[in-house]
């Protein structure tokens, strides 16, 4: 199905019989593993072709290559046959001493120096020179030995220690890496966030980082492996020197780089998974449909940008107020805000949580409005990115970037999913070290997360932006643009089948997207459900058997309870699909987004970190979750940190098991570092607000 162009959301929802009911996560794992294996098989084909061209592909070697799916083992097998750059061993071969190296490696020559004299020439004036060149060749053979590399790799995996020290010449004025100035820990126990922090410090030139094992012990083990029991002492000494040289110069750096790359890959995966989970929580935050919203982008000197939006997020009016320093125009700001609330019938005011956000909220909280109004703080991360984007210019061509930013803040409250998909997920401001991880993997993971969220909620094809439509199963940016153009030229869609008239909408694309697109008010009410058009005939059969119409079935528990699933089973339609159809008939177009969290009540007596003291109990809102804990917005510039060890009295494996983004919590202050702007919090003995 994947090869046939089916998407993960489509397979998970509409092909349950074929997959045995696998959920989206499992199918995505299969897709990722399939892609990984195909990349590996391409590499394996290349390896085989190179070895075959060299005339070295024996049946035994071919069988070993076929038997492994481990990339590291494949590369070990390939190493002796790799196209070589010019090495010391290659230079030695050009001097013609490879036969001498073979004799020494056989370890049966009593007097290697006497044999080496046969190879003397202008470039090799003495026996010691010939032996040294032969030793370079032996060192390369040892470095290409699979068992030797496997032995060193296993020891690195078990015993490697990562160490970090502050560079003597480096400056770290903000003390960002003070925890790693003298740091050492077994690599296998180093948490992902620590590893990424150490590597960031190394890239910044502040830390010197190394990964080490007991080099003397592993060298001796390799010597015992390569030196034969019956070897002549002279040959054994040369081989030992070659082993030590090979380990230090060739094997160790190669395996260390490999282990470091694997550690980075694991750390990247952990950080990406965490970031994707945070993005999912943000995208699936509860919307405020049916509300008129005033969006405010706070500021001091430049003032607060104010916009009013209707229920669909369309711009009604905008202005600028100056209630904060240095202007402090309270009266003018009060008149403007109240007049706009009244004229535009505003229900909710969304205030950006950036610079001057708390001050603006305090001002707005003191006003008496001409109608009931709710105040909500909104995460404004990425609003500036949106305001300067091509999407913003297309949506609000006549407005400047300050107005567009305020519009984005307001729309995030109306429908977070529809607005946040317009912004590069990396700019949303949650997660950890997202700029340090593999950017291609990050982009792929976040695209999958956004696609999953969009399709789980469903999209109104008549109101959705091009950005939102592009994440719908089977559509993509080009087809999304065509849908928008068709809608502008022909008016709203009145049926799903009408989508087939869109330019470049083929049968396959329609099959993939139709079930995820909604058409409220369509003549066929099934067009506003997640029931796929390919299953409409089933609903029609059910309705006919009950002597009613499909429209009369929807939301009618009494009629639905009379349906016997067994009567509609076929070779291709099983219980999972029929169950899904009945569930959708009971609650058509159900929105999976959770109920709205209550807003935190910040302590008005606390306006800066200097007002905070240990043992205070404060209320705040979780605004970021990392592998080591959760950050909490306390209504001031600095966030508080609840370390993972302070989230619960019992053991916590992941902060996400205890807290969620935008959740209101009550936490006690453990410690305050005023100079570094850090606030340590705990939930122990306090608990969180439900």
pLDDT digits (tens, 9 = 90+) for 284-311: 988 988 999 999 999 999 999 999 999 9
The CATH number of the structural domain formed by 8-64 is 1.10.10.650
Digit-coded pLDDT (tens) for 466-504: 999 999 999 999 999 999 999 999 999 999 999 999 999
Burial class (CB in 10 A: 0-12, 13-18, 19+), 6: buried
Digit-coded pLDDT (tens) for 218-256: 999 999 999 999 999 999 999 999 999 999 999 999 999
DSSP category for residue 434: T
**Which comes out higher in pLDDT, residue 381 or 411?**
411
Is 156 within 8 Å of 217 (Cβ atoms)? Answer: no
pLDDT band for position 687 (cuts 50, 70, 90): low
- Of 410-414, 508-512, 600-604, the one with minimum mean pLDDT is 600-604
Distance CA 490, CA 366 (A): 48
Mean pLDDT for the chain overall: 92
Q: 34: which residues sit within 8 A by CB, 6+ positions away?
A: 2
pLDDT, residue 690, reads 44
Q: 677: which residues sit within 8 A by CB, 6+ positions away?
A: 609, 637, 638
Among candidate residues 610, 612, 628, the one with its CA nearest the CA of residue 668:
612
The CATH number of the structural domain formed by 469-586 is 1.10.150.310
Digit-coded pLDDT (tens) for 122-153: 999 999 999 999 999 999 999 999 999 999 99
- What residues does 164 pair with on adjacent strands? 183, 209
Distance CA 584, CA 1 (A): 25
Residue with tokens 């230079």: 91
- Count CA atoms closer than 13 A to 569's CA, side-chain side: 8
pLDDT, residue 92, reads 94
Digit-coded pLDDT (tens) for 373-405: 999 988 898 899 999 999 999 999 999 999 999
Instruction: Enter the tokens of residue 41.
Output: 């098989």
Q: Report the Cα 344 to chain-centroid distance in Å.
A: 40
Digit-coded pLDDT (tens) for 653-683: 889 999 998 889 999 999 999 988 899 999 9
Instruction: Enter the tokens of residue 267.
Output: 């750390």
**Which comes out higher in pLDDT, residue 589 or 81?**
81
Look at residue 429 and tell me whether its pLDDT is greater than 80. Answer: no
DSSP category for residue 500: G
pLDDT band for position 534 (cuts 50, 70, 90): very high
Is 522 within 8 Å of 543 (Cβ atoms)? Answer: no
Alpha-helical segments (H) within 8-145 = 8-14, 16-19, 24-53, 59-67, 71-78, 88-94, 98-106, 112-116, 127-143
Look at residue 261 and tell me whether its pLDDT is greater than 80. Answer: yes
Mean of pLDDT values over 94-120: 94
Is 505 within 8 Å of 523 (Cβ atoms)? Answer: no
Q: What are phi and psi of 106, to 5 degrees?
A: -70, -20
pLDDT, residue 590, reads 80
Is 238 within 8 Å of 226 (Cβ atoms)? Answer: no
Is 65 within 8 Å of 74 (Cβ atoms)? Answer: yes
Instruction: Enter the tokens of residue 217.
Output: 């012990």
Q: What share of the chain is helix, strand, coil (3-state, %, to 5)?
A: 50, 10, 35
Look at residue 607 and tell me whether its pLDDT is greater than 90. Answer: no
| Continuous segment of H or E residues that includes residue 331 | helix 330-344
pLDDT band for position 596 (cuts 50, 70, 90): low
Fold that domain 293-414 belongs to in CATH: Nucleotidyltransferase; domain 5 (3.30.420)
Sheet holding 207-212, edge to edge: 182-186, 161-166, 207-212
In terms of CATH, what superfamily is 609-682?
Nucleic acid-binding proteins (2.40.50.140)
Structural domain spans, the chain: 8-64, 161-212, 293-414, 469-586, 609-682
Distance CA 122, CA 630 (A): 70
Euclidean distance between the first and the last CA atom of the chain, given in angstroms as a whole number: 43
Distance CA 111, CA 118 (A): 12
- Count CA atoms closer than 13 A to 462's CA, side-chain side: 16
pLDDT, residue 595, reads 60
pLDDT band for position 597 (cuts 50, 70, 90): low
Is 360 within 8 Å of 377 (Cβ atoms)? Answer: no
Is 427 within 8 Å of 443 (Cβ atoms)? Answer: no
Distance CA 450, CA 380 (A): 19
Q: What is the CA radius of gyration of the chain?
A: 33
């Amino acid at each position: 199905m994947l090869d046939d162009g089916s998407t993960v959301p489509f397979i998970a929802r509409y092909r349950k019989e074929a997959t045995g009911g696998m959920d989206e996560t499992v199918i995505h794992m299969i897709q990722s593993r399939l892609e990984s294996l195909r990349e590996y098989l391409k590499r394996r084909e290349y390896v085989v072709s190179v070895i075959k061209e060299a005339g070295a592909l024996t049946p035994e070697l071919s069988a070993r290559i076929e038997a492994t799916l481990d990339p590291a083992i494949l590369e070990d097998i390939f190493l002796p046959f790799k196209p070589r750059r010019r090495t010391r061993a290659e230079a030695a071969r050009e001097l013609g001493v490879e036969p001498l190296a073979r004799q020494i490696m056989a370890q049966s020559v009593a007097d290697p120096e006497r044999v080496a004299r046969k190879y003397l020439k202008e470039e090799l004036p003495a026996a010691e020179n010939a032996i040294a060149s032969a030793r370079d060749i032996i060192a390369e053979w040892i470095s290409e030995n699979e068992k030797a590399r496997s032995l060193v790799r296993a020891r690195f995996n078990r015993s490697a220690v990562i160490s970090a020290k502050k560079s003597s010449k480096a400056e770290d004025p903000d003390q960002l890496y003070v925890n790693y100035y003298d740091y050492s820990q077994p690599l296998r126990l180093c948490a992902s966030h620590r590893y990424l922090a150490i590597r960031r410090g190394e890239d910044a030139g502040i830390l010197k980082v190394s990964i080490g094992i007991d080099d003397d012990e592993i060298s001796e083990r390799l010597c015992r492996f390569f030196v034969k029991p019956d070897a002549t002492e002279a040959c054994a000494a040369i081989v030992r020197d070659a082993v030590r040289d090979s380990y230090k110069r060739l094997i160790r750096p190669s395996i260390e780089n490999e282990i470091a790359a694997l550690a980075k890959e694991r750390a990247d995966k952990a950080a990406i998974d965490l970031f994707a989970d945070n993005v999912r929580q943000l995208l699936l935050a509860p919307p405020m449909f049916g509300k008129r919203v005033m969006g405010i982008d706070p500021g001091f000197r430049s003032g607060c940008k104010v916009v009013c939006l209707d229920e669909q997020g369309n711009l009604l009016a905008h202005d600028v107020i100056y209630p904060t320093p240095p202007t402090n125009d309270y009266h003018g700001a009060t008149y403007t805000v109240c007049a706009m609330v009244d004229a535009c019938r505003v229900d909710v005011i969304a205030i950006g949580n950036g610079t001057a956000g708390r001050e603006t909220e305090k001002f707005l909280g003191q006003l008496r409005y001409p109608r009931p109004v709710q105040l909500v703080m909104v995460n404004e991360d990425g609003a500036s990115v949106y305001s300067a984007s091509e999407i913003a210019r297309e949506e609000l061509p006549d407005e400047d970037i300050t107005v567009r930013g305020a519009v984005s803040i307001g729309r995030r409250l109306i429908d977070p999913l529809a607005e946040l998909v317009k912004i590069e997920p990396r700019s949303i401001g949650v997660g950890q070290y997202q700029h340090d991880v593999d950017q291609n993997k990050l982009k792929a993971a976040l695209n999958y997360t956004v696609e999953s969220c969009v399709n789980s909620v469903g999209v109104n094809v008549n109101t959705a932006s091009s950005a939102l439509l592009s994440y719908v199963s089977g559509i993509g940016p080009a087809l999304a643009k065509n849908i928008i153009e068709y809608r502008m030229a022909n008016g709203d869609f009145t049926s799903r089948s009408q989508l087939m008239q869109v330019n470049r909408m083929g049968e396959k694309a329609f099959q993939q997207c139709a079930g995820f697109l909604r058409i409220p008010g369509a003549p066929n009410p099934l067009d506003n459900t997640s029931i796929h058009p390919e299953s409409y005939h089933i609903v029609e059969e059910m309705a006919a058997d009950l002597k009613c119409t499909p429209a009369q079935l929807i939301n009618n528990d009494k009629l639905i309870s009379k349906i016997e699933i067994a009567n509609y089973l076929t070779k291709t339609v099983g219980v999972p699909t029929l169950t899904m159809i009945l569930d959708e008939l009971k609650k058509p177009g159900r929105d999976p987004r959770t109920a709205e969290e209550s807003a935190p009540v910040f302590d008005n007596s606390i306006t800066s970190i200097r007002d905070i003291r240990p043992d205070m109990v404060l209320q705040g809102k979780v605004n970021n979750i990392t592998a080591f804990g959760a950050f909490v917005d306390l209504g001031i510039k600095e966030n508080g940190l609840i370390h993972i060890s302070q989230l619960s009295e019992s053991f916590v494996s992941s902060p996400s098991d205890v807290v969620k983004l935008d959740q209101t919590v009550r936490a006690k202050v453990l410690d305050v570092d005023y100079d570094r702007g850090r606030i340590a919090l705990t939930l122990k003995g306090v608990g969180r607000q439900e």
